[in-house]
Amino acid sequence: MTEKSETALPTYRVAAIQMVSAPSVERNLAEAGRLIAEAARDGAQLVLLPEYFCFMGHADTDKVALRETAGAGPIQSFLSDAARRHHLWLIGGTLPVAAPEAGRVLNATFVFDPQGHEVVRYDKIHLFNFVKGDEAFDEARTIRPGTEVRGFDAPFGRVGLSVCYDLRFPELYRALGDCALVVVPSAFTYTTGHAHWETLLRARAVENQCYVLAAAQGGKHENGRRTWGHSMLIDPWGEIVAVREEGAGVVIGELNPARIAQVRQSLPALRHRVLA
């Protein structure tokens, strides 16, 4: 099913920003600002930043020192200003927000509308834990998990929010309900990304019959970590619309509501669900 029907319904231009973030908030914000501006010049109306876009430290605990209070802080101000300046929806990857207990943060996604107003916040629910050879990650040491699924209404339909490791839990995406787009800001490791990234993203698009926009960290970081990259936009049939394999840059493409309707009419799997 590769043909796309003609329609009068408007399309919507969306972009994923790929970064190779460093242990410097100032440098990362400058790079993010440059890439957001590039996406805006290319006509993007919604822009997604990657997980940890603002900071990739040398140790897991480094991000705790940079935590902001929800609703205030230089990183949140940067996101609000960028959304307003370029008059677009901006989904701010993730940034560390103060948790109730000392030594931990919430890994939070903030969404700002084209006027620069905060619309919704999502705290990453599933925390990554992986051990293989010299690679060892345990986000629970410094991150407190979120507890609620979140989304928001954009001009083209509902947008569901998720972050990185959430991608492995399809029940989260079912809980988001009927979405035109789900977003996945991420910092997948090279090992897990090479094995599973594209497969999981395409599966989430196919089973929910919606677009999936994934913004990734992609390259060799100053702290020695290597991330997989391959930021991409996938359509409701599971076809890759656009992709960037590695390095900082912009992935941009059209979200077509008619394409969603076409896929759901041809294969009404969502209506055939039996189990909640």
pLDDT tops 60 at residue 276 = yes
Which whole-number Å values give the CA distances from 173 to 183, 204, 205, 206, 207, in the listed order?
10, 8, 10, 12, 9
The answer to whether 246 is a known catalytic residue is no
Residue 4: pLDDT band (50, 70, 90) is very low
The answer to whether 38 is a known catalytic residue is no
Sequence-distant (6+) residues with CB within 8 A of 248 are: 18, 19, 20, 31, 35, 218, 219
Catalytic residue among 31, 63, 68, 124: 124
- Is 166 part of a structural domain of the chain? yes
Task: Give me the half-sphere count of Cα atoms (radius 13 Å) on the Cβ side of residue 87.
Answer: 2
pLDDT tops 60 at residue 245 = yes
Measured torsion, CA atoms of residues 138, 140, 141, 144, in degrees rounded to the nearest 10: 150
- Is 109 part of a structural domain of the chain? yes
Sequence-distant (6+) residues with CB within 8 A of 208 are: 173, 174, 176, 179, 182, 236, 270
Q: What percent of the chain has pLDDT over 90?
A: 91
Rounded Cα distance between 251 and 239, Å, is 15
pLDDT tops 90 at residue 200 = yes
pLDDT tops 70 at residue 5 = no
Which whole-number Å values give the CA distances from 268 to 7, 173, 248, 254, 263, in the listed order?
20, 17, 38, 23, 8
> What is the overall mean pLDDT for the chain?
95
C-alpha closest to that of 20 among 61, 59, 56: 56
- Is 148 part of a structural domain of the chain? yes
User: What pLDDT does residue 8 have?
Assistant: 65
CATH of residue 148's domain is 3.60.110.10
The answer to whether 54 is a known catalytic residue is no
Rounded Cα distance between 217 and 195, Å, is 16
Integer-rounded Cα Rg, in Å, for the chain is 18
Pairing of strands 12-18, 249-255: antiparallel
- Is 190 part of a structural domain of the chain? yes
Average pLDDT over residues 47-62: 95
Q: Which domain holds residue 147?
A: 12-270
Residue 136: pLDDT band (50, 70, 90) is confident
- Is 3 part of a structural domain of the chain? no
Rounded Cα distance between 207 and 170, Å, is 9
- Is 7 part of a structural domain of the chain? no
User: What pLDDT does residue 74 have?
Assistant: 98
- Which of 26-30, 71-75, 101-105, 229-233 has the weakest average pLDDT? 101-105
- Is 2 part of a structural domain of the chain? no
Catalytic residue among 54, 164, 179, 210: 164
Average pLDDT over residues 200-220: 98
Number of CB atoms found within 10 A of residue 155's CB? 11
User: What pLDDT does residue 137 have?
Assistant: 85
Do 151 and 205 meet the contact criterion of CB atoms below 8 Å apart? no
Domain count, the chain: 1
Average pLDDT over residues 258-272: 97
Residue 238: pLDDT band (50, 70, 90) is very high
Q: At what angle do helices 74-86 and 25-41 cross, to 10 degrees?
A: 10
- Is 167 part of a structural domain of the chain? yes
Catalytic residue among 51, 68, 139, 246: 51
